[in-house]
Amino acid sequence: MANLDETRAWASTFFADLRFNGKNGTLPYRLHLPGRYEHGKTYPLVLLMHGYGSIGSNNWGQLFLCGLFANNPNVDLDNVFILAPQCPADGTWIKIADDNKWLGVDYTMSDEPVVPMKIAMELFDDVVSSYPIDKKRLYVGGNSMGGFATWDILSRRPKTFAAAFPICGGGDPAQVAAIATTPIWTFHGDADTTVLPEATRRMVRALKELNADVKLTEFPGVGHDSWTPALTKPEFGEWLFAHSL
């Protein structure tokens, strides 16, 4: 895709502009429905968690991530639900217990999810229960803050997702026992100075100690924007949808 706004504009044509009112609050979200329904058929769902640069209330910022994902040649838009909530400008998807120190390698996640995450997961549950979705083919991934959110969701919802793809985020290695049953492909630029590559490497090392199905792709010379080369890899889309619980 050409640039941020062109990608968002393209994605906006097939991602519905919606609002969710849950018990924990309200959240804007985008939802792509399969291009056609077949009676009696269920479909996979991908939960996309955007980064800090897309926070707000316009339900527009996260469309860049939506567009990148949807443009992958192995994403069949006729046969997948894609859900993308937007985090409010005054919040984050996760709270790092140590004073929100994003630039580091030692992360301890809060015991309770923050309010935007609570709403996002309530929305996720609502969508899964409201549409013909295959509960054995649920996927989650995201970039930067959304990469942190992906690691966090996996630890809070063990054995829910068939596969996951955290991109340039970090997590809490103490939580990997809950994550170890989920196939994970994680990505990072080795020149990232916003979220250090070691944040991902630590999670991968901890998972490999448990013989988990995890692989890491580092992009040489790439800074924080590792989501573009990650999500545009044709083999990424093929890998993701090959997994089922």
Beta strands 163-167 and 184-189: pairing type? parallel
Q: Cα–chain-centroid distance for residue 101?
A: 21
Structure pTM? 0.95
Tens digits of per-residue pLDDT, 93-114?
987 655 545 555 566 677 889 9
**Cα atoms in the 13 Å half-sphere on the side-chain side of 93:** 31
Which option is the CATH number for 4-241: 2.120.10.30, 1.10.10.10, 3.40.50.1820, 3.90.1300.10? 3.40.50.1820
Both tokens assigned to 152:
């966090």
Domain ranges of the chain: 4-241
Region 9-29 average pLDDT: 95
Region 39-66 average pLDDT: 95
Q: Is the pLDDT of residue 1 over 50?
A: no
Region 45-69 average pLDDT: 95
The residue assigned the tokens 């985020």 is 169
Distance CA 94, CA 145 (A): 8
Q: Please report the pLDDT score of residue 205 as a whole number.
A: 96
